[in-house]
Amino acid sequence: MPWRAMETQDLPAVIGIADRVHLNYPEEEAVFAERQHLYPGGCFVLHAGPAEITGYIVSHPWHFKQPPVLNVLLERLPDPASTFYVHDIALLPETRGNGVASDVVRKLITHAKEAGFPNISLVAVNDSTAFWERHGFRTLEDDALNKKLATYDEHARYMVLGLRKRRQFT
């Protein structure tokens, strides 16, 4: 099951997956459409067969320790950005457990390193902390940030993966 770039016509399937997987974190189609438009290089779908999408990931440059509010349009991406932010990843239950989520996370890590981001950040929900820890992410404790995360739920965690800066030779 290969990951491929998300396209506009994929949005209804993406919303359908989001509605099934992220019941407590609803977002409008416009939010997904805007992120895909603003940063297509960070948006992928898991293509399981002809016209069958079973997962997605949405990511983009953003501000470190300032996760976007759920279901709110960004309008534009920051320049410069201080983190590569994983906004959302979701797989249908029948698609989990075979390594496909890890495949796309590794792809995003490579992208973020090559683009020169100092880190990747995200808000872990739905008991996903252990998954992210397996990829080297660590929970960042910050009182002000924890108050913002409480709007997600009491188990939400802001997680960060530091990336080594690429050495530039002149």
Percent of the chain with pLDDT over 70: 94
Q: How many structural domains are present in the chain?
A: 1
Concatenated DSSP letters for 115-127? Answer: TT-SEEEEEE-TT
Predicted model pTM = 0.92
Look-up of token digits 């030779």:
169
153 is a domain residue? yes
85 is a domain residue? yes
pLDDT digits (tens, 9 = 90+) for 64-89: 999 998 899 999 999 999 999 999 99
68 is a domain residue? yes
Range of the domain at 144: 3-162
CATH number at residue 127: 3.40.630.30
- Within 10 angstroms of residue 88's Cβ, the number of other Cβ atoms is 23
53 is a domain residue? yes
33 is a domain residue? yes
